[in-house]
């Protein structure tokens, strides 16, 4: 949301700014999940990274599509639209991360 809130006043479209935000947040999200949310010493970190990348890209695609729809078909402010989309879809990403990307095998 910070990339969108910062980028849009600078002339970047909300959807483009959202791409920048995704790229900036990917590394931090993986590090934080691997270290604190789903820590495991016996997990192959390379497998977790690849799986997290799949979950993140799919989640981002859904988020971007839902955000584009909200921007196109509603009059809701672009910041509130993004917030509502993220909150709505984040539980699915968390569950996929927990039960697949960072699963202990």
Contact 70, 76 (CB under 8 A): yes
Contact 28, 46 (CB under 8 A): no
Q: What is the DSSP letter of 76?
A: S
Confidence of residue 98 (pLDDT cuts 50, 70, 90): very high
Q: How many Å apart are CA 26 and CA 72, to the nearest integer?
A: 26
Two structure tokens written together for 101: 């990307």
Q: How many Å apart are CA 68 and CA 70, to the nearest integer?
A: 5
If you write DSSP's letter for every residue of 9-71 in order, what string do you get?
A: GGT--HHHHHHHHHHHHHHHHHHHIIIIIS--TTS-HHHHHHHHHHHHHHHHHHHHHHHHHHH
Predicted confidence (pLDDT) per residue in 3-62, tens digit: 888 888 889 888 888 888 898 899 999 999 999 999 977 889 999 999 999 999 999 999
Predicted confidence (pLDDT) per residue in 50-97, tens digit: 999 999 999 999 998 999 999 999 999 989 999 999 999 999 999 999
């Amino acid at each position: 949301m910070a990339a969108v809130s910062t980028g849009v006043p600078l002339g970047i479209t909300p959807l483009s700014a959202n791409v920048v935000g995704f790229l900036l947040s990917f590394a931090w999200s993986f590090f934080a999940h691997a270290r604190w949310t789903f820590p495991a010493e016996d997990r192959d970190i390379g497998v977790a990274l690849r799986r997290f990348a799949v979950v993140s890209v799919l989640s981002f695609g859904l988020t971007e599509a839902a955000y584009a729809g909200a921007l196109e078909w509603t009059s809701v402010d672009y910041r509130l639209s993004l917030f509502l989309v993220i909150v709505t879809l984040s539980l699915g990403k968390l569950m996929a991360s927990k039960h697949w990307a960072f699963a202990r095998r």
